[in-house]
Structure 1
Amino acid sequence: VPAVTMSDKPDISEVTSFDKSKLKKTETQEKNPLPTKESERQAYESFLNFGNAQLFVRSLAKM
């Protein structure tokens, strides 16, 4: 059985003949954009309102 040997140097013939001008121009977009200051403020206010509503309901339950 003949031994399979690999060259010490990789075959870069495809890389050297690569034509960068054939690439298409693309526009990238964030899949998960960071929240805006406004959305953070709304989330925080919603959180505060929810907490206040729970306190109110608990105070009614104690009556």
Structure 2
Amino acid sequence: MLVRRHYEDLPDDEIAAILGISRRTVRSQAFRALATLRIRPVVARKGTHMRSETSRGPA
């Protein structure tokens, strides 16, 4: 959804039609996804696992 919204620059109404969901659902899911990215800006790399700074113990 974020790809369609930010990279493809599609409006919420069009995303909703493509996905078969309501405009309200598009907006709420986008809001939650962006909030998660702000809290946990993890860059995933193929085959690696990144630990948070607060985790302790074996990797």
Per the TM superposition, whether the score is higher than 0.5 is no
Q: Indicate the TM-score class for this superposition, using the shorter chain for normalisation.
A: 0.3 to 0.5
When Rg is computed on C-alpha atoms for both structures, the one with the higher figure is 1
Q: Which has the higher contact order (CA 8 A, sep 6+)?
A: 2
Alignment TM-score, normalising by the size of structure 2: 0.33
TM-score with structure 1 setting the length: 0.31
